[in-house]
Structure formats: C-alpha cells, structure tokens
Amino acid sequence: MKQHQNYNMKKIILLFLLILFIVPSSFGQKSFFYGQKNIFSVNARLSPRLFHIQNDNLGAGTSGHGTYYQNYDENGRLKSGNQQVNLMLNVSYLRMVGRKTGIGLEFNYQKHHLTNHKELEYDYIHYDVDGYVGNNVVIDEFTASTPVFNMYEVKLIAGTFLGPNIAPGNHLFHYGVGFRSYSLDQNRQYYYDKDTPVTHRQFMAGYDSNIMFLRFTVGYTYRLLLTKNLSLDIGSDFNLGGAIMGETYSGNNSFPQGYFYFENKANNVIYDRPYVKNRLGKETFSSMIYFRAGLSFAI
C-alpha cells in the first residue's frame, strides 16, 4: 500500500530542497537592490493647464484652449499664443532610511507665463460733467505683455516603495511638502503696447520681491530598471493644495490694474500685486496633475 509512496524519485530530489528551506529562526534585516540607498533623478514634468484654461472668475471672457499669453519680440511685434502645458524641470535626491522608505529633497524649475485673457477689452464709457452719458465710448484693448516668472520650488519628500520588490524597486509612492517661489523674469523687456516699453516697476507692483506659496503633493513613480543602476522613471504628481505665504488679498481682483493706467500713468502699474498673487495662487493650486518622465541613477 505504502510502498509506491516511498518509491518516489521526487521525494529524493526534494530532500535537498528541504535542507535548504528549514531554518530554526530568522530575522529580517535591511537590504537593498545592490545595496543602493541613494537615488538621484532628473525628470521633465508636464502639466496640462486644465482648470485655468477655461473661463474663470479672475477675468472676463474666455481664453480658449490653453493659457493665453502675449509678448513683444525684439522688433516690437506682438506675439501671442496658447500654452497648453507647463514644462517643469526637476532634480531630486532620495536616501533610503528604512527597508522600504526613503526621504529626500526635490528641486523644480519652471518658466511660467501668467495666464492672460485673450480679447480682453474694456468698454470704457465716458460720462460728461452733468452725469449724462456721452457718445464717446472708448474701447481699450489690453495690449500689455504677459508677465513671465521664474518659478523655483524646493520640496522635502518622503517615499515608500510599494509591492513585494526589493527597494529601490518598481513602485515609489511619495509625499512632498515645499515652497514655491515666483519671481518676475527681469531679463525681459515688457511693454504697455508695441510703442510703449515699461520699466519693471511700471509693469508689476512689487516686481523685485518673490511671491511664495506652500504646497503639498502626492506622487507615484514607476522605476523601470534599464541597467543595474539606471532606471527610466515614469510617474505623476498630484497637487494637494497648500498655503499662501505673506500678504493675502481678498476678492477676485478681476482685472489688471493697468486699465487705469490711462488715467494716471505716474501712479499706476499694469499688474498690481493682489491681481498677480491671486492669479499665481490660482494657477499653483489648480495645476492638479503633473505627468513626468526621466532617468534616475541609484548607488
């Protein structure tokens, strides 16, 4: 009856396996893929400007698809366009501190056009001294350059490698918190209209001070190993909101202050600070998703 059970070659082969797998006690210790604990990454991030493309409460009219911007070239020609996506460059460093967890720093840079409104115009109706409406309706087109900002961001990140793979493995889930700073690109010449260049002071209130935001993000990266150390990263980041740093302004400030420039050129600027800050805040917190791709090197 049992003879045939014993007479089984597989059992003999399994002997060796049994020897290998029986251990009296064990405790896990930290180990990493080739001992890699430092991960350096370079990424390009693309953010479709989804929310502020459409009509929003900061301005009248619509800007069509993408973000409308306008500026003047060296010959004073007005150029305008719709920016569909933001491109952000990113470098980051992550250091493994646990079997699956790591902490690090991330730096981002982006050239940022403030969102403007295409065909924004103001029906400027003149009243006479008696209060009657005259016939001299003036339609002012908004012809000023769109401000361009250098955006810098520094973030603390904490990541966890998900799944059963050894870290740094395939799936990285990470949180980030950091400051985003916008500063006006002062290497550019801005214009009121094609004939009227303006100084930075005239162009934007508080042009030489940065506008700061605190931002929380959550992200996911898939690390596809190309070689022992190098991997292709594909992932995305989501905005979790944040806080405005420094002075805050209530109200929508729907229009650039510049419309009153006609009245008192000496005292007014085209873009006042509440408008710009609220506008940038809107853009910072409503850039909900970034897609990114890049390379990372782990040692």
Partner 1 sequence: MMNLKVNLSILLFSLFSFFCFSQNDFFENYQAVSSKGEMPSVFSQALVDESGIDYDYYSEVSDEKLMEYLQYNHYGLRSIMGSGKILYGDPMSEFVNKVASKLMQGQPDKYQHLQFFLLKTNYTNALCMEPGVIFITTGLLAQLENEAQLAYILAHEISHYIEKHFQRSYVEAGEDIHRSNISYEDLTHISKEHEFEADKGGVKIYHEAGYNFEDIVNVFSVLMYSYLPFDEVEIDSTFFGNETVYIPSSLFPEKANPILSFEEYDDRKSTHPNIKRRTEAIISEIDKLAGWKQNKHFFDESEFLFVRDIARFEFVRNDFLENNFIEALYGIYLLEKKYPNNEFLMNIKASTWIQMSDYYLNNRKTNVVRGEKNKEGNISRLYGFFSNLDSRDMGLLTVRMIEDIYNTNPSSPLYKEMREFAIHQLNKARGLDVKTLERLSFYEALALNVEENMEKSDTLEVEDAEGELSKYDKIRNLQRQQSSSKTVRELVDENFAYFLLSDLLEGEKREEFLEIYNRKEEVVEETPSRSKRKKSKKEKFKAEGNVIFIGAFFQVTSGGQLDVGKSIEFERLANEAIEEQMPKGRFDDFRLISGEMTTKEYNEYCQLVDYFNFVGEIRSEDMVRFYVDKERMESFLEKRNNPLLLLIDGESFKPRKGRNVVRGSVQFIDLKNNQVHSFSNYRVSMKVNKTSVGGLIYEAASKL
User: Per CB under 8 A, does 209 bind partner 1?
Assistant: no
Q: Please say whether the beta carbons of 129 and 137 come within 8 A.
A: no
For partner 1, which is the closer residue by CB, 35 or 131? 35
**What does R_g of the chain's alpha carbons equal in angstroms?**
29
Q: How many angstroms separate the CA atoms of 35 and 96, rounded?
A: 10
Smallest separation, CB 90 to partner 1 (Å): 24
Least distance in Å: CB of 179 to partner 1? 33
User: 136 to 155, contacts with partner 1 by CB under 8 A?
Assistant: none
d(CA 267, CA 42): 45
Residue that is written with structure tokens 């009248």 in the block: 60
* Pair 51, 67: CB distance under 8 Å: no
Site for partner 1 in 33-72 (CB under 8 A): 33-35
Strands 38-48 and 67-72: unpaired
- Single out the residue of 72, 61, 160 nearest to residue 115, CA to CA: 61
For the residues of 257-281, what is the DSSP string, one character each?
GGGGTTT-TTT--SB-HHHHHHHHH
Q: What are 160's strand-pairing partners? A: 101, 173
**99 near partner 1, rule: CB under 8 A:** yes
Q: Which is nearer to partner 1, 7 or 132 (CB)?
A: 7
- Residues 188-207 touching partner 1, rule: CB under 8 A, are none
User: Given the complex with partner 1, which of 222 and 255 has the nearer CB atom?
Assistant: 222
Give Cβ neighbours of residue 155 (< 8 Å, ≥ 6 apart): 105, 106, 107, 108, 176, 177, 178, 179, 215, 217
Is residue 98 involved in binding partner 1 (CB under 8 A)? no
| Residue range at the interface with partner 1 (CB under 8 A); choices 134-142, 177-185, 220-228, 279-287 | 220-228
Q: Cβ 40 to partner 1, closest distance in Å?
A: 19
Q: Whole-number minimum distance, CB 223 to partner 1, in Å?
A: 10
- Is residue 228 close enough to count as binding partner 1 by CB under 8 A? yes
Residue 282 is classified by DSSP as H
Neighbouring-strand partners of residue 184? 149
Nearer to partner 1, 109 or 297 (CB): 297
- In terms of CB distance, is 173 or 260 closer to partner 1? 173
Shortest Cβ 41–partner 1 spacing (Å): 19
Neighbours of 151 (CB within 10 A): 22
Binding of partner 1 at residue 31 (CB under 8 A)?
yes
Strand-strand pairing, 148-162 and 138-141: unpaired
The residue from 159, 169, 178, 235 that contacts partner 1 (CB under 8 A) is 169
- Could you tell me the smallest distance in angstroms from the CB atom of residue 39 to partner 1? 15
The minimum distance between CB 248 and partner 1, in angstroms, equals 45
Contacting residues toward partner 1, per CB under 8 A: 1-9, 11-13, 15-17, 19-31, 33-35, 99, 164-166, 169-170, 225, 227-228
